[in-house]
Amino acid sequence: MPGWLPRAMVMALALYGCFQLGSWAFYQLIGLLTNALIAFFLALAIEPAVSRMAGRGIRRGLATFLVFLAVLVAGVGFVVLLGSMLAGQIVEMVDEFPEYLDSVINWVNQTFRTELSRVEVQDSLLHSDWLQKYVQNSATGVLDVSTTVLGGLFRLLTIFLFSFYFAADGPRLRRALCSVLPPSRQTEVLRAWEIAVDKTGGYIYSRGLMALVSGAAHYVLLVVLGVPYAPALAVWVGLVSQFIPTIGTYLAGALPMLIAFTVDPWYALWVLGFVVVYQQFENYVLQPKLTSKTVDIHPAVAFGSVVAGTALMGAVGALIAIPAVATLQAFLGAYVKRYDVMDDPRVQGGHRWQRGEHEPVLQRIRRAVRGGGGSGGGSGGDGRLGQ
């Protein structure tokens, strides 16, 4: 046996053991790493506001605290306002449920010539097997729901703590990172950090503007229709439609449609039509004008990044996909050399070919047939048909 073979076998086993240990630790810490990634992007989003306040003489820690306090107050106010709205609507719907049920039963009796009554329908619903099973499952699932809520609150607290430290100690973190790199690499790291702050802040800024415009437009519609809780619904539509990718538009429009349906069923159709029309206006007019100056990314690339982020990290990946791809695109654009494009019709969307091997086959056949028509059975022409 060669002398190096036992050492190589021990080294291979040690490397395999380290790989297994690293994989186990990574899967155990995947939740913490995800929270840290979310906190990092959140810190990048508030970095411009914190730096502006720090430039005016406010200590960076206090500036970060004030920014987070403003975000927290706005979030709690939105949740309380939305919760009161939903509670009021639920109570109102429960009180008016017998009237709704009577109108539905009367329509069914008139349409299908039946003789149903509200008492019979209520008894059949209360004594149905599926309702009893649903109540039992709900009673047993209260503990699971409580555990999920507590876990979500703990995760939210972890994200806020990490993002607070990332934003408050941003300069110190950059100095610590640059201290282990040579000067040439330090410039690249600082440039990448600056691009990430610019693109992430620009993404939040553009989404905030679009949320403001969307909320104002839907508020006007809801006020005109006389739908209750118009301010809360407008805020809901603006925030959900802009900050929840892909399905946010449908979630945002569902709640105003439901509330409008309680006023008049035709109002729900008006809200649906307005949501569809406004979405087209936003996609083709408003969003290109705003994002061209903040997050310059093609819509197809944005959609693909959201899909890829969702596949990799779920909802978290969908939220941070667009600013991450925009940062990567801007960083690569600073190092990729670009050239002037030649004046060619194919670049402008036209077509051009050389006569011969690059000419389309159908065009060559047509030209050969036309040339052979006047030469007796196709013996004339330019002789390219057989090439």
* 170 inside domain: yes
- Pick left, alpha or beta for residue 356 (phi over 0 → left; psi -120 to 50 → alpha; otherwise beta): left
| Beta carbons of 283 and 276 less than 8 angstroms apart | no
Per the prediction, the chain carries an average pLDDT of 77
**Is residue 356 over pLDDT 60?**
no
List Cα–Cα distances, 219 to 179, 236, 260, 285, in angstroms: 52, 10, 13, 20
Q: What is the pLDDT of residues 24-81, one digit of tens each?
A: 998 888 888 888 888 888 888 888 888 888 888 889 889 899 988 988 888 888 778 7
Whole-number pLDDT of residue 378: 46
What confidence tier does 363 reach under pLDDT thresholds 50, 70, 90? low
pLDDT at 93: 65
pLDDT of 140 reads: 60
Residue 21 predicted with pLDDT over 90: yes
What's the pLDDT score for residue 126?
66
What are the Cα distances from residue 253, in Å, to 228, 247, 276, 284, 343? 15, 10, 9, 19, 47
Q: Which domain holds residue 58?
A: 25-122+154-180
Contact 195, 183 (CB under 8 A): no
Please report whether residue 63 resides in a domain: yes
In this predicted structure, the answer to whether residue 339 has a pLDDT above a threshold of 60 is: yes
User: What pLDDT shows up at residue 14?
Assistant: 93
Q: How confident is the model at residue 16 (pLDDT cuts 50, 70, 90)?
A: very high
| Closest listed residue to residue 307, CA positions, set 299, 317, 296, 298 | 317
Report d(CA 167, CA 63) in Å as an integer: 10
> Does the pLDDT at position 1 exceed 80?
no
**CA dihedral over 250, 282, 329, 346, signed as positive or negative:** positive
Beta strands in the chain, from DSSP E residues, in sequence order: none
Dihedral-angle region of residue 381 (phi above 0 means left; psi in -120 to 50 means alpha; beta otherwise): left
pLDDT at position 350: 56
What are the Cα distances from residue 340, in Å, to 159, 188, 305, 344? 46, 26, 28, 12
Whether residue 108 is contained in a domain is answered as yes
Residue 19 predicted with pLDDT over 90: yes
Look-up of token digits 């990048």: 44
Task: Using the predicted structure, report yes or no on whether residue 136 has a pLDDT greater than 70.
Answer: no
**In the chain, how many domains are there?**
1
pLDDT in the model for residue 376: 45
Both structure tokens of 12 = 């291979």
Handedness of CA 289, 291, 296, 297 (dihedral sign): negative
Task: Decide if 327 is inside a domain.
Answer: no
Residue 122 has pLDDT above 50, yes or no: yes
Q: What is the predicted pLDDT for the residue at 302?
A: 72
Give 372's pLDDT tier (boundaries 50, 70, 90).
low
Give the Cα separation of 262 and 69 in Å (integer).
37
For 155, counting Cβ atoms within 10 Å of its Cβ (0-12 exposed, 13-18 middle, 19+ buried), the class is: middle
Distance CA 260, CA 376 (A): 78
What pLDDT is stored for residue 380 in this prediction?
Answer: 44
Domain annotation covers residue 325: no
Q: Give the per-residue pLDDT at 387.
A: 39
Helix axes 60-95, 230-243, angle to 10 degrees: 120
> Which among 145-149, 209-213, 335-339, 371-375 has the top mean pLDDT?
209-213
65: in domain: yes
Q: What confidence score (pLDDT) does residue 131 get?
A: 63
303, two tokens: 């959609």
Q: What percent of the chain has pLDDT over 70?
A: 75
Q: At what angle do helices 142-168 and 60-95 cross, to 10 degrees?
A: 150
Q: How high is the pLDDT of residue 351?
A: 54
Question: Tokens for 184?
Answer: 């040439």
Residue 383 to residues 25, 190, 279, 369: CA-CA distances in angstroms? 73, 65, 57, 11
Q: In this prediction, what percent of the chain has a pLDDT beyond 90?
A: 5
pTM: 0.62
More confidently predicted of 52 and 353? 52
Closest by Cα among 32, 45, 31, 28 to 320: 45
pLDDT greater than 60 at residue 353:
no
pLDDT tens-digit map of 269-313: 999 899 888 888 887 777 777 766 666 677 677 777 777 877 887
CB 206 within 8 A of CB 294: yes
Per-residue pLDDT at 374: 46
User: Do residues 39 and 159 lie in contact, with contact meaning Cβ atoms separated by under 8 Å?
Assistant: yes
* 238 is a domain residue: no
Greatest mean pLDDT among 49-53, 122-126, 334-338, 363-367? 49-53
309 belongs to a structural domain: no
Average pLDDT over residues 199-210: 80
Does 104 score more than 60 pLDDT? yes
Q: pLDDT at residue 384 above 90?
A: no
Backbone φ and ψ for 228, nearest 5 degrees, come out as -70, 160
What is the predicted pLDDT for the residue at 347?
62
Give the residue, 387 or 96, on which the prediction is more confident: 96
